C-alpha cells in the first residue's frame, strides 16, 4: 500500500524515496487527498508524537518536514486543479515566547496545497508583528498557535490589540495547539478553534466562501 510506504518515508526523513512513491501513486490514480492525509500527514503526526515524547531530535523532525514538503510540491498542481483552490489570504505564526512550529508547519503546508495564500511569520511572533502584518496585508484569517501553556496569554493580547487598532472585525481569528481548548478560545474572543489539521481543513473547504473577500 502506497500510503503506508509514504508514511514510513516521512517518518524516516527519506525525501528521495517519498518523491518517487508520490509520483508512482499519482500515476496509478491514487487520490491526492488520500496521499496527503493517509501518507504524509499520518507520517508527520507520528514523528510529531515521537518529538513530544523526546524519542527523536530536532534534526530528525526537520528531515521529515523536508520530505513532506517535497511530496506536497508534487501534489500541489493536482490540488490547484480542484475547486478547493480557495484563494484565502492567511497570516499565521507561533505566539511570543513559544519556539515550537511542527504543528504550524503541517497546517501551513496543507493550506498552501489547498490553494490558500499563506504568510508565515514563524515562531516567537510578537503582538506588534501580528498587528502590523494584519494591518499591512489585510488577511481573511489570522491563525495563532502555541504549545506552551505559559504562552497562551499572548493569544488574548493579540486579539485585544486587534480590537484597539479597530482591526478585529476585518479578520477571523483561529487558535490552536496542544494546550488550547474550545473553552479557552471562546474566553479570549477567538472565532474558531480546531483540534487538528483535518478538522480545520474540512471546515475551510466547506466554508471558504465566508472568508474570501469579494
**Per-residue model confidence as pLDDT tens digits over 117-140:** 999 999 999 999 999 999 999 999
Q: Which run of H or of E encompasses 56?
A: none
CATH 1.10.1240.10 intervals, the chain:
2-80
CB 175 within 8 A of CB 187: no
Give the distance, in angstroms, between the CA of residue 1 and the centroid of all CA atoms in the same chain: 26
> Which pLDDT value is given to residue 213?
57
> What's the predicted TM-score (pTM) here?
0.77
For domain 89-210, give the CATH number: 3.40.50.280
CA 97 to chain centre: 19
CATH topology of domain 2-80: 1.10.1240
φ/ψ of residue 193, rounded to 5 = -135, 140
What are the cell numbers at 72? Answer: 506536497
Q: Convert the pLDDT of each residue in 25-54 to its tens digit.
A: 999 999 988 998 899 988 988 887 887 788
Under a CB-based contact definition with an 8 Å cutoff, are residues 79 and 130 in contact? no
Are the C-beta atoms of 175 and 14 separated by less than 8 Å?
no
Gap between the Cα atoms of 114 and 105, Å rounded: 14
**Residues 6 or more apart in contact with residue 15 via CB below 8 angstroms:** 9, 63, 66, 67, 70
pLDDT digit string, tens, across residues 140-193: 999 999 989 999 999 999 999 999 999 999 999 999 988 999 999 999 999 999
Start-end ranges of CATH 3.40.50.280 in the chain? 89-210
The answer for residues whose C-beta is within 8 angstroms of residue 137's C-beta and 6 or more apart is 89, 91, 119
Dihedral, 195, 118, 127, 191 alpha carbons, nearest 10? -40
Helix (H, G, I), strand (E, B) or coil at 184: helix
CB 97 within 8 A of CB 166: no
What is the pLDDT at residue 134? Answer: 98
Strands 172-176 and 141-145: parallel
For residues 154 and 118, the answer to whether their CB atoms sit within 8 Å is: no
CA 97 – CA 154 distance, rounded (Å): 8
Q: How far is CA 43 from CA 5, 6, 55, 98, 174, in A?
A: 10, 8, 15, 24, 25
| Segment holding 111, helix H or strand E | helix 102-113
Q: How many other β-carbons are positioned within 10 Å of the β-carbon of residue 166? A: 9
Amino acid at each position: 500500500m502506497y500510503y503506508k510506504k509514504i508514511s514510513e518515508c516521512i517518518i524516516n526523513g527519506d525525501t528521495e524515496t517519498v518523491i518517487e512513491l508520490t509520483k508512482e501513486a499519482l500515476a496509478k490514480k491514487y487520490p491526492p487527498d488520500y496521499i496527503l492525509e493517509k501518507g504524509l500527514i499520518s507520517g508527520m503526526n507520528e514523528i510529531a508524537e515521537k518529538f513530544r515524547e523526546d524519542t527523536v531530535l530536532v534534526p530528525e523532525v526537520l528531515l521529515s518536514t523536508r520530505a513532506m514538503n517535497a511530496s506536497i510540491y508534487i501534489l500541489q498542481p493536482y490540488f490547484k486543479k480542484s475547486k478547493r483552490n480557495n484563494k484565502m489570504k492567511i497570516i499565521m505564526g507561533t505566539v511570543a515566547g513559544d519556539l515550537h512550529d511542527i504543528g504550524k508547519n503541517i497546517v501551513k503546508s496543507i493550506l498552501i496545497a489547498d490553494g490558500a495564500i499563506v504568510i508565515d511569520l514563524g515562531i516567537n511572533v510578537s503582538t506588534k508583528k501580528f498587528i502590523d502584518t494584519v494591518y499591512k496585508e489585510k488577511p481573511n484569517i489570522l491563525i495563532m498557535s502555541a504549545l506552551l501553556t505559559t504562552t497562551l496569554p499572548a493569544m488574548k493580547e493579540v486579539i485585544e490589540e486587534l480590537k484597539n487598532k479597530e482591526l478585529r472585525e476585518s479578520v477571523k481569528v483561529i487558535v490552536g495547539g496542544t494546550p488550547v481548548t474550545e473553552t479557552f478560545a471562546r474566553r479570549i474572543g477567538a472565532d474558531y478553534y480546531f483540534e487538528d489539521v483535518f478538522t480545520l481543513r474540512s471546515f475551510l473547504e466547506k466554508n471558504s466562501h465566508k472568508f474570501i473577500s469579494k
